[in-house]
Each structure stands twice: as C-alpha cells, then as structure tokens.
C-alpha cells in the first residue's frame, strides 16, 4: 500500500510501533533471564475515575492493572501479543479494520496455523477485551491503532454546516450539509480531523437519543425553520459520535443539547458518556466527550408540565430493576453524579429511584396528537425558556 | 337416625389398603415384596439365623382389574418357620404381631403389612397367600392357603397338606396379585432389593425378576446383628391418651410403680423431681384403677413439666461402618466411598442412630443428574414421597459444594453418587401408616446433617485430590499450549534471533515449571492426606474390604446366566 498522509485524532507524541516493540523486547529479555514479564495498563474502572467539573470529563487515577506472567495469565499474554502483532501490521500497512473484522482476521490466522489453535476466540467479546487491554497498556486510542467500532451512528442534518475533510492522498473534500436534502452526513471514525464551518449563524446542536426521532424532526423540516444541527445518537454513543460532538462543540462553539428518554439507563449510559466519557474509556475521554452538552429532556418537570405518559418500572422485570439498582450504585460511586455541579442530574436519578417510573422521548407526541410539529415546538420552547440541566 | 354398626380391623384395612402401601398397582407389587422380605429378615434375626432369601417375581398374565397384570411374588427364607396353627394369625389377622409396641428396632412393628398383602391378593385374585412352612421340629413341611376373614379379622386356613420339602426349616410365601412391575427408579423393585442388600451385609439374596437372569448376591458378613433388648417409652414423647392407654396395660399397680416400670430411666430421684413440680405425694401409692381421668391429666402435665433423664440408647441397632463398607461394593464397581456410623444419641427424647454411606460408582449415575438417595428406616428402604422425608431435607440442607460436589440451591447434590442414609430407632415417627417418609423434628434432622457432613469430609479428600490432579494437568497443558506461541510472537515483533527465542523459551519453561511444581506439591499434599485417611480406613476395615477385593470372588455370579435355572 502507498505511503499516505496519516489522519490523526490528536497530536500524538508517541511512536506506537516503537513503544510496542520496546515493550515486547523487555518481555523477551525478562523471559531470557527467567524473570516474570509484567504488563501494566491503566485501570479503567469507576474506582480509578476522577471528575473535575472544570476539566469536564472523567480522568484516570494512579491505579494500574498489572498482569504478571503465570500459568493462569499465559493465555491472556499470548493472545495480547498475537492481537498486537495484527494491529501493528495494520499500522505499518496503513490499513484499518473494525473490531468485528479483527476478530475474524484473528480466527483466520489461527485456522491457518494449527499450533495457534489454543488462542482461538469463542466470540468477539474475547478479542475486543484484548484490543481494549492493548490500548490501555500503550495508553493510545483504539482509533490510533487503526481499529474502529463496528457501527457508529451519529447521522447528522443541518442547512448551515460545512465539513472540510482532509483525505489521505493530501487533497481535501468539502461537504455542504445544506446541499444534501434529507440525506444525513455520517461522521467518520476520526471526526476530530474534520474542519467545521457554519454558513451563517448556527443557533444550537441537538443530539437525539433515538435515530428515528431525529429523522422525524428533519423530515418535518425542523432544520429548515431553525438554523441548527440535528444528530441521531443511536443509543449509547460510539467513539465516532463522541468525537464528532466534541469537534462541533470545540470548533463551532454552539450550545449543544441532548434529548432522550427519562430513565436511569439514558442518564447514566448515554448522556453521561456523551458529556464526560466513561470509566471504560478513561484514557480517551479527553478527546471523546463534549462537556458542554446540556440535558434538555425529558425532565421530571416536563412530565408534570406536559402531563406525559409514564411507565411504572416493572418490579418483576430483572432488567428494569437492575437498572434502578445501578442508579443507586451510581449515586454512591460515580464521581460525575457526585460532583455538586451535576447535582440536578443526580436529583433526576433520585427521582427515578423514588418514583419507579420512566418516560420515553416520544411521549411528547401525546401532548397534541394532531400537531406533527409538537416535539419541535416543545424542544424550541424548552431551549428558549432555558428548561434544561 | 341410621343404624350405627361397628367394623372389624380387617374390614377397615380392606377398605383402606391405600393407607398401607397399596395405592397403585405398581406400589402393590413393591409393598407385597417388602412385607414378605421384612418378615423373613426379622424372623431370621430373631432366631439368630444368617438369612438366605430367594425372590422371584413373574408376570403370569392379565390381572382382573383394568391395566394390571397378574403378578406372582414368591419369597423363600431359611428362617425358623412358623407352626401350622400360627399361620392364620401371621398372614391373615391384622394387628396380630409379636412386635407391636415392644420398643425394638425390628423392621415390622404393628402386624399390618403382610395381612394387608394377603387381603390385596384376596381382593384382586380371589385367593390369599399360599404358604409352605417348616420348623426344625417338623419332619415334613406344611402347605396351606391363608385367606383373611374380613368380617372377623382372622385368618382362615385352606387346602392344608403336608409335603416333602428339602429345607431344614423356612417359609415360602406365594402371592398372586393384580399389579404392575416397575424395576428401576425410586419406586422400583431393583432399587428395593439393592437397598435391602446394602443395609443387610449378612444377607444372601438370590433374585429373579421377570425374564432377567437369576442374580446371586452373597453375604459379606457372617454375624447376625444382635437386636438389642427393647426399651420402654419416654413419657415426653407421649400424648395424654397414649399415656392413659399405656397405664391401662399395667393393671392395678400403684402410680409410683407404673411410672418407674412403665417408662425408661425413671428413678426415685425423678419421682422426687415430679413431686417438687406438684405431683401429689399421696397419689403415688394409689392404685392406677383408683385414679380418675382428671387426675391422670394433672399427673401427665406434671410429668411433662419435669426434666427427665433421656432414655437409654442401648436399644438401637447399627449396621456398622464395616458392614456398610463391605456391603456397598455389592451395588456395583465402587470408585471411592465414605461410611459413617454415628454414636447412638437422643433426638426428640427417642434413642436414634444415624448411619450414612456415600459412594461414587464407576458404572452408575451421571455427573449432571441428582445423586441417588437411598433412605432407610430401621433398615427398610423408603421409596416414596422423597421430598417430604426428614432424610431428604437433611441432605438438601448440607452445603455439598464445600465438599466438592455440584449442588443446585436447596436441592440434592449432583453426580454419579449413591447416598444411603439409615435411621434406626425403636420409635421412628412416620408421616403415614405405609411408612414411606420419616417425620423428623429438628433434632433428628440435625443429627442426620452431622452424619452426612462427616461423610462429606471424607469424601472431599478424594474429590480434592482429583481436583488437584486436574489442576496440575491443566497447568501443564497451559504451559505447553501457550508458552511457545507467546515467545514466537514476541520474537517476531522484536525481530529476535533464533538463539534469543530459544533462551526465552527455556526461561519460560523454568518460570512456569516452578508453578507446575507448586501444583504438583499441592496435589501430592492432597494425596498424602487422602492416603493417610485411606490407611486409617484400611486398618479399620481391612485392606481387602477397603479395596473391594473380597467381593470380586464372591460376586462372580452376579448377572451370570444360569443354564439350569431352578426357580425358588
């Protein structure tokens, strides 16, 4: 493959192949001397997460996970080195793969060489965890290892947004979203490399939890009546969506709002990840979170004001009950919700635990069933009146 | 008002045979066999004879009732035999028993079972039981058919004859009843016969079921268990009515004498304690006949409030660890086993002894199915209503995972094991007249639990040694599998020379070899512990018994085809 210009997520002052090689060399020397090699990675868990509202996202503490070679860990180490070699080969050839593809590449290599059979992965979760371990160990983003998520989400609509993309052959492509009708713009795996510009003033960026609801707003012409950007998050935001929102926030400096269900899952897993990152991605939260995003709704007061239909949490449903239990744990252990700056978000969790109710983002359509624009009107009203957190 | 009539005991049971084990055609066959075998074994033990039983169960044709077969059940023993005049009482009269209320650990207790079997035969096949009997003093054997006179609750002898019988003494009973045959499973005939074999090491049993070959199971003990003398009841286990009925048996003796003679371990000291609790001293010298019902009630209440010495435990009988250890090999090829006989103790004021045998077999059971639980009360297998039994509750309450067994929550453990639990007591409380489940209080359940936990500890030595061996195997395999791949990968990434790669592989082997030797040490520690326990058991039971060698010879005939089969 031709040597091409590298598209970067950030200015990385690390030579990944060199660091990886040096690490492997140290391991080999240890083994030659019959010493136990140790692999060390940042501990990516809530108990090693810190949150400072001024920083805006979860950052890692000092804790490390050490994996020392022994009979029990020899399999994990062998798998780590095996997958690392695949990723290094991709880097040197400047080719990319998503996690699912890496899983199959690994399986293909194992199939072609009988003695590698013990390394075989039963499912993608096993190879994914090895990839995450490698990234945590080298303290690099998965994207910097040329490995991306399987699906991204983040379809974006706007009449004003213009995206300039620098291509690997050195040329640039300019995409004017206003010229795309109702066709969405799909952010790339490394959205931080885009240059963004607004044709005229962009009043706000709206991130909708449901891709379908985002589509409804666009189809009904919200983006033609209001100079804005509408993004469908498609559930828990992928790295691509998180990086895209971060770029919009940093480059366009427009207010950003999130609108989704009123339940513990949305608040903890979707909104918190978008705004401050997650404990699992501590090393990359700085480039994959949009700390300025505000929670527009659904808010508990919206339920009251618009008399929105709620579902009672089914106490016999283990999934729903687990979500509430997780909300209780979150209030006790999650530094994001414990920060006084996010007290109002924590209050929503408390409300959910107390009321044992949940309200879906589409419930607003029951406010005036004959008005197809009701959701747009409610959203605009809430933005204008400042009813968000 | 309709006329009130009274019925005989036989009439009652004839109408309620389901209460004594004849609730279905399948149970009818098992219960008939069980009653005949129990009586034979009890009779042999009473007469100090080593029992040798021959059992044959055959299908003769269709039964008279719908969906039943006509089943022939023959049980022959080498017991003392029964005199001709006693045959009607034994086989045809309810509650005519030499064992009723005697406080001994015999299998039969009330004198209901065998008469019920005769009644069932009579009701379903219009003829009672055909008996051949010969006592030592008889020159020729007698044969007769015993029917039950249901109205009069007495046995009737028919077709009496004297015949030549080439046995010195014994009984042969031949029942023909409507029934259905189930061989395996909890309620199966084979399960019954195996259970009976297990807890009767002194029994030689020959059996032929349907078209299967004759099976010979040789005895593994040459001593007849000595049935301990009977024990008197303990007043705290009685209800007022029972107390008064018990008093009626003693005629006109004084109250003091009744309390002393009628109950276990009541001494002058106990009487003093009763007086201190409010028993009027002047009542002690009064005749029982002079004491009113009201006074009996007060006396009974005082006795209940007085702290009494527990009854003697001498009346209980054990199979014994050695007997169980020998006998368990008769069920199949044993991988390993653990037997525990607890010391006799008192549970709910009754003397009790609990024994347990746990064995893993090479050819029985499945790792994913519950263990086979064999329950025994006074050495009689209990085969129905398992869930309600105190033994089952005790087994389920033990945390078997601690001993290395799989166990779903609040359930029986799983694996190819047989768990045999035997409770022996002169006063076992059953949940029903057909004696299918033990109704145990907390004391008894705890005693059974302790027995099982003791057996579990021995068992865990074996399982732990196996686990350690498997761990070592796994570690060695891990090293062999992953070590070279790791080194090769590192060498490729680094671009290392072949010699570096070899050195690293050597280093890796050293490193992981150290761990393997740790695992090896853990395994050998576990094996040393196991061996020390095995040595102890070998000293206790003898090495041949322990390894099951003595059975290889004696059990040769099991399952063999006999060419000229003579039926019993």
Together in a domain, B275 and B347: no
Q: Which residues of A touch B505 (CB under 8 A)?
A: 31
Domain shared by B98 and B164, yes or no: yes
Instruction: State how far residue A295 is from chain B, nearest Cα, in angstroms.
Output: 45
Of B481, B485, B490, the CB nearest to A27: B490
Picking from A194-203, A308-317, B237-246, B485-494, which range would have the lowest pLDDT averaged per residue?
B237-246
Query: Same domain for B159 and B146?
Result: yes
In this predicted structure, the answer to whether residue A366 has a pLDDT above a threshold of 90 is: yes
Is the predicted pLDDT of residue B151 greater than 60, yes or no?
yes
Residue A119 has pLDDT above 80, yes or no: yes
B299 falls within a domain = yes
Q: What is the pLDDT of residues B180-225, one digit of tens each?
A: 999 988 889 999 999 999 889 999 999 999 988 899 999 988 888 8
Q: Is residue B82 part of a domain?
A: yes
Is residue B226 in a domain?
no
The verdict on B404 and B489 lying in the same domain is: no
As a whole number, the mean pLDDT across chain B is 82
Residues from chain B that touch A76, judged by Cβ atoms under 8 A, are none
For A373, the token pair is 């624009």
B489/A78 touch (CB, cutoff 8 Å), yes or no: yes
Nearest to A158 by CA among A196, A195, A190, A184: A184
Is residue B79 within 8 A of residue B171, CB to CB? The reply is: yes
Nearest to A24 among B481, B494, B510 (CB): B494
In terms of domains, do B490 and B388 share one?
no
Q: Mind listing the pLDDT tens digit for each residue in A121-162?
A: 999 999 999 999 999 999 999 989 999 887 778 999 999 999
Domain match, B300 and B176 both: no
Distance, in Å, from the CA atom of A50 to the CA atom of A338, rounded to the nearest integer, reads 10
> Which residues in chain B are contacts of A81 at CB distance < 8 A?
486, 489-490, 493
- Tell me how many degrees the CA angle A358-A364-A370 measures, rounded to the nearest 5: 145
Determine the residue of chain A that is closest to B506 in CA distance: A32
Chain A residues touching residue B487 (CB < 8 angstroms)? 28, 31
Q: How many angstroms away from the CA of B414 is the closest CA of chain A?
A: 28
B266 is a domain residue: yes
Q: Would you state the pLDDT for residue B6?
A: 60
Measure in Å the smallest separation between the Cα of A59 and chain B Cα atoms.
31
Determine which of A71, A86, A90, A117 to mutate to test the interface with B (most B C-beta atoms within 10 Å). Answer: A71
pLDDT at A318: 80
Chain A residues touching B519 at Cβ < 8 A: 71
**Are B503 and A32 inside 8 Å of each other by CB?**
yes
Q: Which of A251-255, B45-49, B138-142, B324-328 has the lowest mean pLDDT?
A: B324-328
Other Cβ atoms closer than 10 A to A338:
14
What was the pLDDT predicted at B109? 57
Point out the domain boundary residue: B462, B479, B500: B462
**Same structural domain for residues B429 and B522?**
no
Cβ contact, residue pair A34, B511, below 8 Å: yes
Q: How far is A45 from chain B (nearest CA, A)?
A: 28
Nearest CA-CA distance, residue B503 and chain A, Å? 5
> Is residue B163 domain-shared with residue B29, that is, in the same domain?
yes
What is the separation of C-alpha B306 from the centre of its chain, rounded to a whole number of angstroms?
Answer: 35
- For the CA atoms of A155, A161, A162, A168, the dihedral, rounded to the nearest 10 degrees, stands at -30
DSSP H stretches of helix in B377-497: 390-397, 442-494
Task: Give the pLDDT confidence of A257-294 residue by residue, as tens digits.
Answer: 999 999 989 999 999 999 999 999 999 899 999 999 99
Composition of chain B by helix, strand, coil, percent to 5 = 45, 20, 35
Q: Please, which pLDDT band fits residue A4 given cuts at 50, 70 and 90?
A: very low
Instruction: Judge whether residue B502 has pLDDT over 80.
Output: yes
In a domain, B189, yes or no: no
Residue A202 bridge partners (DSSP): none
More confident residue, B251 or B352: B352
Residue that terminates a domain, selected from B446, B462, B478: B462
A116 — contact with chain B (CB < 8 Å)? Answer: yes
Mind telling me how many Å the CA of B522 is from chain A's nearest CA? 15
- Classify B215 as helix, strand or coil: strand
| Strand B52-62 versus strand B204-209 pairing type | parallel
Q: Give me the residue from B478, B479, B507 closest to A31, CB to CB.
A: B507
- Residue A43, min C-alpha distance to chain B (Å): 24
- Report pLDDT digits (tens) over B522-565: 777 777 777 777 777 777 766 666 565 544 334 333 333 333 33
pLDDT, mean of residues B63-90: 90
Q: Do B482 and A35 touch (CB under 8 A)?
A: no
Average pLDDT over residues A165-189: 86
Is the CB of residue A31 less than 8 Å away from at least one CB of chain B?
yes
Cα gap B166→B170, rounded to integer Å: 10
Please indicate if any CB of chain B lies within 8 Å of the CB of A113.
Answer: no
Supply the CATH number for residue B449's domain.
Answer: 3.30.230.10
- Pair (B65, B149) in one structural domain: yes
Confidence (pLDDT) at B284: 85
Domain covering A16-148, topology: Arc Repressor Mutant, subunit A (1.10.10)
pLDDT tier at A46 (50, 70, 90 boundaries)? very high
Helix residue ranges per DSSP H, chain A: 16-32, 74-93, 99-112, 124-138, 211-219, 222-225, 239-252, 264-265, 272-276, 300-305, 318-333, 335-338, 343-355, 374-385
First and final C-alpha spacing in chain B: 56
- Measured between alpha carbons, how far apart are the two ends of chain A, in Å? 49
Same domain, B440 and B514: no
CB proximity A118 to B under 8 Å: yes
User: Residue B494 and residue A81: Cβ atoms within 8 Å?
Assistant: no
Ordered by start, the domain boundaries in chain A are 16-148, 156-385
pLDDT at A7: 53
Is the CB of A74 less than 8 angstroms away from the CB of B482? yes
Q: Closest Cα of chain B to A70: distance in Å?
A: 6
List residues in chain B touching A: CB distance below 8 A.
Answer: 475, 478-479, 481-487, 489-494, 496, 500, 503-508, 510-512, 515-516, 519
Residues 6+ apart with CB under 8 A from B304: B235, B236
Among A20, A74, A110, A130, the strongest candidate for a mutation testing the B interface, having the largest count of B CBs within 10 A, is A74
pLDDT above 50 for A1:
no
Total domains in chain B come to: 4
Q: Which two tokens stand for residue B524?
A: 């050998």
Radius of gyration of chain B (CA): 30
B510: nearest CA in chain A?
Answer: A34
Comparing C-alpha atoms, which of B376, B338, B106 is closest to residue B227?
B106
Question: Measured between beta carbons, which residues in chain B are less than 8 angstroms from residue A137?
Answer: none
Contact B512 A27 (CB under 8 A): no
CB contact under 8 A, A118 and B506: no
pLDDT band at B124 (very low <50, low <70, confident <90, very high): confident
Q: Does residue B313 have a pLDDT over 80?
A: no
Q: Are residues B426 and B544 in the same domain?
A: no
For residue A25, what is the nearest residue in chain B, using CA coordinates? B494
Q: DSSP string of B442-475?
A: HHHHHHHHHHHHHHHHHHHHHHHHHHHHHHHHHH
Pairs of CB atoms within 8 A across A/B: 87
Single residue among B437, B462, B487 that ends a domain in this structure? B462
Show the domain range for B299.
Answer: 235-305
Across B41-88, the runs of DSSP E, i.e. the strands, are: 52-62, 69-77
**B484 to A115: CB separation less than 8 angstroms, yes or no:** yes
* Whether residues B434 and B477 fall in one domain: no
Judged by CB atoms closer than 8 Å, whether chains meet at A35 and B507 is answered as yes
In CATH, the architecture of A156-385 is: 3-Layer(aba) Sandwich (3.40)
């Amino acid at each position: 493959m031709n040597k091409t210009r590298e598209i970067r997520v950030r200015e990385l002052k690390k030579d990944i192949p060199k660091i990886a090689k040096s690490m492997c060399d140290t391991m080999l020397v240890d083994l030659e001397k019959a010493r136990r090699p140790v692999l060390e990675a940042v501990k990516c868990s809530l108990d090693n997460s810190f949150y400072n509202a001024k920083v805006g996202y979860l950052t890692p503490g000092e804790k490390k996970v050490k994996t020392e070679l022994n009979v029990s860990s020899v399999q994990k180490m062998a798998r780590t080195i095996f997958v690392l070699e695949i990723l290094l080969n991709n880097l040197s050839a400047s080719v990319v793969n998503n996690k699912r593809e890496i899983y199959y590449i690994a399986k293909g290599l194992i199939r072609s060489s009988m003695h590698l059979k013990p390394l075989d992965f039963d499912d993608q979760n096993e190879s994914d965890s090895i990839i995450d371990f490698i990234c945590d160990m080298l303290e690099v983003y998965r994207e910097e290892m040329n490995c991306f998520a399987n699906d991204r989400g983040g379809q974006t609509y706007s009449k004003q947004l213009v995206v300039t993309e620098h291509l690997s052959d050195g040329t640039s492509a300019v995409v004017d979203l206003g010229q795309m009708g109702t066709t969405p713009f799909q952010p790339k795996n490394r959205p931080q490399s885009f240059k963004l510009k607004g044709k005229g003033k962009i009043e706000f960026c709206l991130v909708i939890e449901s891709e379908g609801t985002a589509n409804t707003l666009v189809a009904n012409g919200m983006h033609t009546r209001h100079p804005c950007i509408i993004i469908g998050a498609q559930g828990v935001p992928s790295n691509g969506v998180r990086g895209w929102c971060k770029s919009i926030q940093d480059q366009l400096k427009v207010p950003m709002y999130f609108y989704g269900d009123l339940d513990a899952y949305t608040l903890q897993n979707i909104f918190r990840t978008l705004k401050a990152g997650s404990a699992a991605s501590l090393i990359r939260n700085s480039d994959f979170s949009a700390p300025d995003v505000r929670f527009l709704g659904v808010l508990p007061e919206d339920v009251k004001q618009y008399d929105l239909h709620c579902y009672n949490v089914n106490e016999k449903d283990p999934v729903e009950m687990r979500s509430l239990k997780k909300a209780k744990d979150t209030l006790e252990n999650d530094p994001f919700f414990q920060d006084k700056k996010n007290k109002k978000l924590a209050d929503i969790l408390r409300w959910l635990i107390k009321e044992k109710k949940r309200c879906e983002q589409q419930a607003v359509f029951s406010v005036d069933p004959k008005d197809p624009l009701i959701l747009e009107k409610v959203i605009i009203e809430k933005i204008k009146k400042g009813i968000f957190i | 008002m309709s006329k009130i009539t009274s019925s005989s005991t036989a009439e009652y049971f004839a109408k309620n045979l389901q209460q004594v084990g004849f609730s279905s055609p399948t149970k009818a066959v098992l219960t008939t066999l069980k009653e005949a075998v129990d009586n034979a074994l009890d009779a042999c033990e009473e007469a100090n004879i080593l029992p040798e039983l021959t059992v044959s169960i055959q299908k003769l044709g269709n039964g008279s009732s719908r969906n039943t077969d006509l089943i022939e059940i023959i049980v022959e023993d080498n017991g003392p035999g029964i005199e001709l005049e006693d045959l009607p009482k034994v086989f045809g009269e309810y509650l005519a028993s030499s064992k009723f209320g005697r406080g001994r650990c015999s299998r039969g207790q009330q004198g209901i079972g065998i008469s019920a079997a005769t009644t069932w035969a009579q009701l379903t096949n219009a003829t009672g039981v055909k008996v051949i009997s010969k006592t030592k003093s008889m020159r020729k054997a007698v044969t007769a058919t015993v029917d039950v006179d249901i109205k009069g609750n007495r046995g009737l002898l028919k077709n009496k004859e004297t015949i030549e019988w080439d046995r010195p003494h014994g009984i042969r009973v031949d029942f023909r009843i409507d029934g259905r045959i189930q061989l395996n499973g909890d309620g199966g005939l084979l399960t019954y016969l195996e259970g009976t074999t297990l807890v009767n090491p002194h029994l030689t049993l020959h059996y032929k079921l349907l078209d299967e070959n004759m099976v010979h199971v040789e005895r593994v003990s040459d001593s007849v268990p000595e049935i301990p003398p009977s024990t008197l009841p303990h007043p705290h286990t009685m209800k007022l009515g029972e107390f008064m009925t018990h008093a009626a048996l003693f005629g006109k003796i004084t109250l003091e004498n009744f309390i002393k003679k009628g109950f276990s371990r009541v001494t002058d000291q106990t009487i003093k304690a009763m007086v201190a609790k409010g028993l009027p001293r002047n009542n002690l010298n009064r005749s029982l006949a002079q004491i009113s019902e009201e006074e009996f009630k007060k006396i009974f209440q005082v006795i209940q409030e007085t702290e009494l010495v527990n009854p003697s435990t001498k009346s209980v009988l054990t199979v014994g660890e050695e007997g169980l250890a020998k006998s368990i090999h008769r069920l199949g090829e044993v991988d390993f086993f653990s037997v525990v006989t607890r010391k006799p103790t008192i549970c709910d004021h009754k003397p009790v002894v609990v024994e347990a045998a746990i064995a893993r077999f090479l050819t029985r059971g499945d790792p994913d199915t519950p263990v086979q639980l064999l329950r025994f009360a006074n050495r009689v297998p209990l085969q129905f209503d398992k869930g309600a039994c105190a033994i089952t509750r005790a087994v389920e309450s033990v945390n078997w995972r601690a001993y290395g067994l799989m166990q779903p929550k609040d359930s029986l453990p799983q694996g190819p094991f047989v768990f045999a639990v035997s409770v022996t007591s002169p006063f076992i409380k059953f949940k029903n007249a057909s004696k299918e489940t033990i109704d145990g209080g907390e004391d008894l359940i705890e005693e059974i639990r302790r027995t099982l936990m003791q057996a579990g500890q021995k068992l865990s030595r074996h399982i732990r040694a196996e686990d350690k061996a498997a761990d070592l195997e796994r570690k060695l395999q891990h090293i062999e599998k992953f070590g070279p791949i790791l080194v090769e990968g590192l060498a490729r990434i680094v671009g290392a020379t072949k010699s570096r790669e070899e050195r690293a592989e050597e280093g890796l082997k050293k490193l992981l070899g150290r761990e393997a030797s740790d695992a090896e040490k853990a395994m050998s520690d576990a094996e040393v512990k196991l061996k020390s326990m095995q040595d102890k058991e070998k000293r206790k039971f003898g090495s041949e018994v322990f390894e099951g060698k003595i059975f290889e010879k004696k059990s040769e005939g099991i399952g063999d085809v006999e060419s000229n089969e003579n039926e019993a």
